[in-house]
Amino acid sequence: MPDIPSVLTSAPPTLQPETAADLASRVFGIAGTLSPLGSERDQNFMVEDGSGDRYLLKLSNAAEDESGVTYETDALLHILRTDPGLPVMEPVTTTNGTYWASVDTPSGTGHLIRMFTFLEGTPAAAPDLDLEAIAAFGATLARLGRSLRGFFHPAAGRKLLWDERHASDLRPLLEHITDDAQAALTGAALDRFDARVLPVVGSLRAQTIHNDFSLDNTLMGPDRRVSGILDFGDLTHTALVCDLSTAMSSVMFGRDDPGEAGEAVVAGYASITPVEELELSLLPDLLAARLVALIAIAAWRVRSFPENREYIMGSVAEAHSLLAWLDGGGYADLEDRLGAGSSAAPTAVSTEELRERRRVLGSAMSPLSYQRPLHLVRGDGPWLYDTDGVRYLDAYNNVPVVGHCHPLVSDAIARQSRALNTNLRYLHENSIELAERLCGTLPDGLDVCMFVNSGSEANDLAWQLARAVTGRAGGIVTEYAYHGITTAVSDLSPEHWARGYTPDTVATIPAPDGHAGVHRREDPNWAAAYAAHLDDAVEHLRAGGLEPAALFLDSGFTSDGILVPPAEYGRDVVDRIHATGGLFVADEVQTGFGRLGAHLWGFERFGVTPDIVTLGKPMGNGHPVAAVLTTSAIVDRFAQTMDFFSTFGGNPVACAAGLAVLDVIESEGIQERVMGTGNALIDGLRVLAERHSSIGEVRGLGLLIGVAFTSDDTGRPSDAALAGRVMNGMRERGILIGTTGPDDNVLKIRPPLVITEEHVDLLLTTLDEVLRICNEPGGETPGSS
Ligand code: PMP
């Protein structure tokens, strides 16, 4: 037999109102009219004194001991101190200044007697509450849990049968259940509980909780908000989340869609106290445990108190139907709704509908990726999940450099956003620390970090600095470069130029493509020949009356098709721009934060020191934060004519994200792993190239990799159509990649840096299959599988 508390077996006291009135006046000095109030195990009266004030007089069950009573009293006093706004009853002192007294009743039994202030309101029934009221109910519960966080009491260790953590102890009571369906459902629920909850229950955060926060034990005002929290008789130290599963059971009773009520109460709770992943995943089973307790304890008690059958069995039918709902698909419904295992908000909007509604973003918005666009709801490491729970290996997105939704980064953002988010007109350690750490990774001399919010802004500021410092107005970029969207920077982005547009202030150089460009590897001097074009660009600017202020280079030539020229090329062009008095801006928006493996920053492989370095994309793993790093000398000259401020740039939350990204890169050895996985991927792709003649070239460094498709055996002419079919074929088979290059014939492979060799194998096998199908006569039609 489980450990049955004696308050459940012992009958409540039955004092006459006159006797109780006498006690109220003698013990508490409050004389008034008494009316009886219901209670399962105690005897309660409402006391109205002469002045119209109302109180609750409580005579405890004879089996109630002093430790339980002091536990409740101390908890109430603690709550009133920590969150005085919570509507709990205030203990009233006796004429001796104590919070309770022991009295003998005429029958000779001793009872503990207490008096409290009276709470106004009426109990509500679940079906009468809208979702807003249910969410507010959850929020009140979360406040109650918070207010008790720091509370300790020697009686907290008592073991209650109502503690969902101990649901397995209910098993012996199941034999009292006479209804076969109930017996089967409760048994199955406990089997699930033993398998899923028991092994991990000890690792849940725990504290004293109310443990019976239900609609029966709360009062509501006319606004449907909790106006009174009653009955602290089940207080115990247990998993915090048990409060929530108990509240869920109560609001889900008798509703047409119990799941939406469960979801609403959890959402309301989470608006005050975030619910941990493990807690979310256990909630459906803890809810079931609560229902089993309701059914099993009632079945057992009704045998001892048959005369009280109606009261005891009051919620059994509801509990049974909710348990049947869980068993018939409700577990899965709740898991989906609560997003157990994810923090993604569940979505009710169809993909098609969203696609229609996307018009609101305007016709200039870049098109959706893939012929069958993706509607994603969740990310985790290298994986993305769509609304149907289908997962995709992300081999395209370079922003989530440490993996999608890395918990340390997400937590850092959440924590800082709960504490403070301001701007750089106030001191904050996050911005200073991030700036120092970034400067510490760069060559000596690059000792200033200016924060902005995007790669475009970083390049725009770099351009302003370069022009201000050199007093010149000309820019040099590669032929298909992309550096951002501002008016100034889009002039530096030929990839972005409107057809026929060439800004007067910008000259281009051919990107160093040794495979299909103007100088090829057959020429031993091909790289130097590319570098020499820098001088042509300078001449071009001079012909228009301009001198070069800066050369901007994306160290990975991403939009030029992903190119890896020899290091001498980089040194050569940088020497040439410096020789003209212009600056070198290393755009690390794509290649920064370890993507190329051997170094944290892409320019490092050239062995050069840039005058300005711009960072963005991966810097916050998805949170907008970007920066310009340069020398004090450059900034000091700029500062002679203007100062710089960006409202959001370098705010404490953005910098918390940036710091967390650096922490994870270091602690998980991410940059060190890139070379290994990158080489395995490049080697595997080269093996595929031997089998598939449509691959003209595989090139890349670390995890920035391009696969150029070609339409004939010379390996030169571009085949953009094939690249598109392959990209869509991969998407259909669960792997996301993109295309790039002036001809759009290059597969762009840029996964989060956390991918491992297993992911690499998956990518290679899938690409092999897709290429086989695409190269067959009739080929792959995207979306057909
Ligand atoms: N520079 C490079 C090399 C980029 O690839 C990009 C974005 N693709 C940018 C700058 C602009 O960054 P953002 O989109 O954050 O403004």
User: How far is residue 86's CA from residue 141's CA, in Å, rounded to a whole number?
Assistant: 10
DSSP state of 216: G
Please state whether beta strands 391-394 and 735-736 pair in parallel, antiparallel, or not at all (unpaired).
Answer: parallel
User: Given the CA of residue 457, which atom of ligand 1 is nearest to it?
Assistant: 16
Neighbours of 348 (CB within 10 A): 7
For residues 569 and 2, give the distance between their C-alpha atoms in angstroms, rounded to a whole number: 79
Give the residue-averaged pLDDT of 540-565. Answer: 97
* 723-737 pLDDT tens trace: 999 999 999 999 999
- Residues whose CB is less than 8 angstroms from the CB of residue 168 and which lie 6 or more positions away in sequence, other chains included: 190, 193, 194, 198
The pTM score is: 0.67
Given the CA of residue 617, which atom of ligand 1 is nearest to it? 15
- Determine the pLDDT at residue 308: 81
Which numbered atom of ligand 1 lies nearest the CA of 454?
15
**pLDDT at residue 370 is higher than 60:** yes
Q: Is the pLDDT at 362 greater than 60, yes or no?
A: yes
Report residue 9's pLDDT band, with 50, 70 and 90 as the boundaries: low
CA of residue 482 to ligand 1 center, whole Å: 7
Q: Do the beta carbons of residue 55 and residue 115 sit within 8 Å?
A: yes
Cα–ligand 1 centroid distance for 179 (angstroms): 66
Residues 6+ apart with CB under 8 A from 644: 450, 461, 638
Q: How many CB atoms are closer than 10 A to CB 159?
A: 14
Per-residue pLDDT tens over the stretch 158-191: 888 899 999 999 999 999 999 999 999 999 999 9
User: Cα separation of 207 and 88, whole Å?
Assistant: 19
Query: What's the rounded Cα separation, in Å, for the pair 747 and 264?
Result: 44
- CA nearest ligand 1 atom 10, residue: 483
> Ligand 1: which atom is nearest the Cα of residue 455?
12
What are the pLDDT digits (tens) for 606-635?
999 999 999 999 999 999 999 999 999 999
Q: What is the pLDDT of residue 10?
A: 66
Is the separation of the CB atoms in 734 and 386 below 8 Å? no
- CA 176 to ligand 1 centroid distance, Å: 68
DSSP secondary structure string for all residues of 334-381: HHHHHTTT--PPP--S-HHHHHHHGGGG-TTSPPPSSSS---EEEEEB
Residue 616 CA: nearest ligand 1 atom is 15
User: What b/e string do you get for 88-120 counting C-beta neighbours within 10 Å, with b at 16 or more?
Assistant: bbebbebeeeebbbebebeeeeebbbbbbebbe
What is the rounded distance in angstroms from the CA atom of residue 592 to the CA atom of residue 220?
56
The Å distance, Cα 685 to ligand 1 centre, comes to 27
Q: Measured in angstroms, how far is the CA atom of residue 554 from the centroid of ligand 1? A: 9
Distance 369 CA to ligand 1 centre (A): 17
In this structure, the chain runs to a length of: 785
pLDDT at residue number 349: 78
How many angstroms separate the alpha carbon of residue 640 from the centre of ligand 1?
Answer: 29
Whether the per-residue pLDDT at 756 is higher than 50: the answer is: yes
Q: How far is the CA of 520 from the centre of ligand 1 (A)?
A: 28
Closest-CA residue, ligand 1 atom 2, reads 483
Spatial CB neighbours of 539, under 8 Å, sequence gap ≥ 6: none
Q: What is the DSSP letter of 496?
A: G
For ligand 1, residues with CB inside 6 Å are 454-456, 459, 482-485, 554, 558, 587, 589-590, 616-617
* Ligand 1 atom having least distance to the Cα of 624: 15
